[in-house]
Structure 1
């Protein structure tokens, strides 16, 4: 495809480099992105949950403080509480009795204060008496004692029946600058008379110390009443008390806001600066980037190692192949300490040795072929003169009416012409059989037809190629060395034994061959006369069929001999050779 040709290099080095880069970067991107996304979400949710849990705890602490103030005030009411003693104290006129009631009430209040350490201050406000504030747990500030209780600047947070809960304000105690939340409970008695109980508890311990050690320990607090008005603010310069929270919210773009609402309508807000809120996230991101960078470096190092481990051995074997192309001597042995590449190099060395052997074998075959050509050329020098002389005799015999002489010379000339032919050394089985018939006819004329040669070819094998002059030496060997007398039978069978194999068997009913003589023939030790023709046939088969042709000799004394050659129906060596 065009895009592959454009973007993919045509070298293993280039493609392997691209592959290593892709394999290195892709997992880091996919796993890193997935991990970063989900871990970021988990981390963000964890931080948000922690902040939200903190503001919930602060709201619960504030609720618990209000409930505790309400419970303490319940101990001071009439009809079962300390309020009954207070009414007795207010109603008696006897100084001694009044003193006793005062001491009794003061003792009870002391026990209540000690049993509720979160109560910061307590007093009774009695507007019908000369000393309006009595039974106080500690001295109050002067501005408290000089004003009527109703005139004190306490902003109400919310009301619950007879209970009024005040928003954070300064403590009424002298010398105390703490912010507190307070409760005022009015109790009626007698003829439309009433007194008020005042209780307070520290506010900052509820909304800051309750979250000490949590992520929002430096957070900013807002307390908003049921009417949506800001009752308390840690940043009065930005958000003033008394303004609507909805208006103030527009100025809080630099904060992450967490809120917790009370069932009575008031809400506690925790404002976290975005820098503080994202501090842990940024720290985690830095750690993630550091670990991702280290992972990338490790992966690149591993990829580089894989690159060297794969490519360098390939370079070495390529270098050996190039060297072998111009120098077939034995090269150095390569060791990579990797079984796969060592096995590959070992196979290459085996292949190199086999190629060297094949080159040597081809060289030797060409050398033998040249020797055969020289021998054949030498043998043709005198036979050419003989051939021309026989042609002259043939035409003289015909001119003088010597028919038998003429026929004999004609057949002999054809046999000689075929054996000395300068055309291709490869003929067909059909041509080889024709030449054999001429040779047999010539021998029959010579021996007055006293032996019989039967040729049984497979008609379908007529066009199968075969080296020239293969059948005649086999028949000649059976004729001169196999028959017991001048009378005998020779059978030539040509057939296909396998799908691609041709078999030629020459059998006679002669005297047979001694076993030791057969062994000599099979080992190549052929004496002159008996094995010259067989030696020629074996060399031709070896030259044109390599190791795929074979010759077998089977003989039984006084019964006969069979010589069989098997060869492929296609040539594997040189197909043509000129005279």
Structure 2
């Protein structure tokens, strides 16, 4: 009965009522009123300020470009410059004088603006920097900016994106022709970098976090802070259509990210569209009006919370904190941690059930761990017992044929190498060996097979020294080499080649066995891959399946064996294992080695 009385008003009900009364209700009501009253006013202010800003930015940019146009026009009509350029050979003194005039023209302007003067016949050119390849008059006389200049009698504005050798990004060129008696004798070009645009746009004082973009009359980006993350060269067609629909208001809203886009067009014969982007959320958050209202709401909510909630929070959350501390300990590995239960309420119920669940989990974990260890040990033993008789049968078969075909010396050699292999297999009860030892076993095996096949194939072993001290499961490479000889090289007409490679790749070791034998048909290759994933291993693919299964048992499904093959071309088999200089466990895997 005592427990039932305590459960009449649950903790969650009390907590809901408490915070609804103290904070949620007033914050929700006041916040809603604040948003309704101030958001529209704030948004209109942002729109008006953004429109004025982009208009001023367009005027500033037009003024900057106009200064370069005027200066260049004056330079191209200077009689002294015209006279010196018109000479068939420009002397060094004349060249120096022209360069001084160019220097004076650029004085007081951005240091990154470059000027180039190029004679129409290509015999003379001078620059305050490096002349781009695009200004090679002999190769590009009728292209690009030169074509524009040949068709115009005034100053030409040309969208001309390129990056100088020093890494400076140029976005526009202002160019003019130098004429004598109506004939073009030279071209003068000012290359304007993007930081000139940035300076012109940033001179407009504004309190908004505003970004700019500038496009020419062909919707080609000259300067871009708004869409630069999208790597666009031309304005997106969908965005262009939205701007066309909003042409009267010259503003639109974008949702991702949410922002206001406003724009204006510079006057003159080469109009540029200057666009500005203002993030709506940031503007609204930083609006003084909204901030003042939000502060008032927060102060009211805090006052209520400070006045009423401390006693309630302390009494209600004490058992919850105890449960959380216990869960943190368990999460960090202390599975013996338990909740100390004092009350008979919902938290007491949770604590007792948590303790009971942890007890059951510990029992299940211990049982499962023992099962997994036993299963893994038994499966590895089974795999080892499969591969050793298979290899021994093939080797004894080799000795039988050599006894018939060769002399005593060959038999002595092959039996000696076989003895090394069998001795290592019986004596070495460890799960893993160093790669240097594994390569030695492969060498012994290859010595036997080369005698058997009468030098039918050449062998190249290319294993990096940095992995020689690493540990891998024993007899992990020899089955792959055996498979390459029996199924790839044996049936090939003529001499074959076998390459064994080993190297480190990041935190992995890669072994690759390549042969140029008869290869494997697609149907047979699919069959081998299926058998590698099967629980039972068929006799045709025991070596491959054994290796793949052993590697996955030791290291997980991210590692193992992959095969690529093409009939009459050859086969490539690759084994992937972790890079490790620590031996695997030393469980006894050789219970029946002496039978």
The bucket for the TM-score relative to the shorter chain is 0.3 to 0.5
- Which structure has more relative contact order (CA 8 Å, sep 6+)? It is 2
- Which structure would you say has the larger Rg? 1
Q: TM-score, normalised by structure 1?
A: 0.38
